Amino acid sequence: MMTKIKPAEMNNNTNSSQLNLLLMSSSKAGDTGYLYHAKAWLSAHFQGKEVLFIPYAGVTMSHREYSEKVRLALADTDIQVRGIESYDNAKSAIENAQAIAVGGGNTFVLLNALYEKGLLELLQQRVFAGVPYAGWSAGSNIAGLTIKTTNDMPIVEPPSFSALGFLKMQLNPHYIDTHPPGFHGETRAQRLAEFMVLNPETTIIGLREGTALKVQGNAMSLLGSLDAVVFRNQKSEIIPAAADRSDYL
What is the CB neighbour count within 10 angstroms for residue 24? 30
What is the per-residue pLDDT across 57-91, written as a single tens digit (0 to 9) for each?
999 999 999 999 999 999 999 999 999 999 999 99
Q: What is the pTM of this model?
A: 0.93
Residue 62 falls in the annotated catalytic set: no
- Bridge partner residues of 236 (DSSP): 231
What is the per-residue pLDDT across 177-201, written as a single tens digit (0 to 9) for each?
887 888 888 899 999 999 999 999 9
pLDDT averaged over the chain?
Answer: 92
CA–CA dist 67, 196 (Å, integer): 36
Nearest to 107, CA basis, from 28, 48, 164, 178:
164
Residue 152 falls in the annotated catalytic set: yes
* Active-site residue, from 26, 152, 160, 162: 152
* Active-site residue, from 37, 45, 63, 174: 174
What is the per-residue pLDDT across 124-150, written as a single tens digit (0 to 9) for each?
999 999 999 999 999 999 999 999 999
Supply angle C-alpha 153, 158, 159, rounded to 5. 150
Helix (H) or strand (E) holding 29: none
Sequence-separated (6 or more) residues with CB below 8 Å from residue 89:
none
Cα separations in angstroms, 240 against 22, 23, 151, 175, 222 = 18, 17, 23, 15, 8
* Active-site residue, from 25, 26, 137, 160: 137
